[in-house]
Amino acid sequence: MDDRSLLDSIRHLIGEDETADDCAGFDLSDGRILVSSTDMLHETTDFPKGMTEFEKGWMSAAVTLSDIASCGAQPIQLLVAVGLDDPARLVPFMEGAVACAESVGAKVAGGDIDSHTELTVVTTGFGIVERSCCCRRTGASPGDLVCITGTPGLAMAALEGDERYRKNLLTPVPQVKAGQKIARAKASSMMDISDGLAISLYDMAQASGVGFVLDSKNFNLPDVCSGSAREYYLYGGGDFGLLFCIPPACLSALDTDYTVIGTVVSEKGVWCDGDPVEKRGYAHSW
Ligand SMILES: Nc1ncnc2c1ncn2[C@@H]1O[C@H](COP(=O)(O)OP(=O)(O)O)[C@@H](O)[C@H]1O
Ligand SMILES: Cc1ncc(C[n+]2csc(CCOP(=O)(O)OP(=O)(O)O)c2C)c(N)n1
Ligand SMILES: [Mg+2]
Ligand SMILES: [Mg+2]
Ligand SMILES: [Mg+2]
């Protein structure tokens, strides 16, 4: 059992929409939406060996700030709750979390401290976005182009030992400015690719009730020393680029780097060069 199938068992309690997006949204009734997201990370499952405390703090902040960026929102506050096996870890850890938050214009505004057998972190973030620019995983329409920012697979390559991409894996940068530009260019849907490109495509296709047809000739595959660039590109997690769909006519107004990898179709599913893409990515399992 993985976290996606476990989530299915509580959708009836929380709501379909509430369990199908990167952030929750609260309408402030003044033309703006308050978005929020929370994420939990653990020493053994989420922090690759050899990371500094600063990098662990940075990564913990980045995973949540990335979800806020994926709505086109400006992150404003971050709360950081830390369960510690050793109290001496707290200062360098929080220095990393503060540095990441400040790098995207947000403030660490509180949190919690507890003792725990394993370093366990929960980051909760809040952001603000104009209602007309708030992007969700829903909204992709047939005929839209499917686009990504960044190069999926670099974090996975680093996890497999490629030192050139160490920073991509350990101190990912939430794509706040790019998210805002994409939202203002009138993208129809957006999410971050934290769990890998293929599984994110399936998540967005399901939320929007559409399908995606990809053309591998357009893939910006990573330059890797070992392993399969295509495997890392489609199935590696931890990159925190953005996946978005946008009507072709809106693309000329978009002033940020992106790669067009396919088109939206009405038939549900995800295909590449005519073949179904495997539905897998980074997951927690029991
Ligand atoms: N325990 C939970 N209770 C309620 N909603 C949850 C829970 N776990 C996850 N969700 C919701 O499920 C959706 C998907 O979560 P997740 O896969 O963690 O997203 P992301 O990869 O963007 O962090 C989100 O809307 C999240 O708020
Ligand atoms: C062992 C390991 N593999 C991969 C990564 C890269 N990585 C960092 S966060 C993350 C995905 C989880 O991020 P997010 O979507 O914010 O959390 P979720 O709610 O899906 O658990 C990954 C794969 C990692 N840190 N450790
Ligand atoms: Mg996300
Ligand atoms: Mg999450
Ligand atoms: Mg995730």
Find out if CATH 3.90.650.10 is the number for domain 135-276.
Answer: yes
E strand residue ranges, the chain: 24-27, 32-42, 74-84, 107-115, 120-130, 145-148, 189-192, 211-214, 242-246, 259-265, 269-272, 275-276
194 assigned ligand-binding residue: yes
Beta carbon of 22 within 6 Å of any ligand 2 atom: no
CA distance 75 to 36: 9
Q: Which of 19, 36, 46, 194 to mutate to test the pocket of ligand 1 (most atoms within 8 A of CB)?
A: 19
Beta carbon of 6 within 6 Å of any ligand 1 atom: no
CB atoms near residue 50 (< 10 Å): 8
Whose CA is closest to 241, among 66, 55, 124?
66
Beta carbon of 19 within 6 Å of any ligand 1 atom: yes
For residue 121, what are its two tokens? 């972190």
Q: What is the ipTM of this complex?
A: 0.97
Per the prediction, the chain carries an average pLDDT of: 98
Which parts of the chain sit beneath pLDDT 50? none
Give the start-to-end residue ranges of the domains of the chain. Answer: 3-132, 135-276
Beta carbon of 23 within 6 Å of any ligand 2 atom: no
Q: Which pLDDT belongs to residue 272? A: 98
Q: Dump pLDDT digits (tens) for 200-213.
A: 999 999 999 999 99
Whose CA is closest to 188, among 261, 245, 257?
245
Element (H, E) at 143: none
Q: Which atom of ligand 2 is nearest to the CA of 63?
A: 16
For residue 224, what are its two tokens? 């890797």
Q: Output the CA 185–ligand 2 centroid distance in Å.
A: 28
**Residues in CB range of 9: below 8 A, 6 or more apart:** none
132 assigned ligand-binding residue: no
Find out if CATH 3.20.20.70 is the number for domain 3-132.
Answer: no
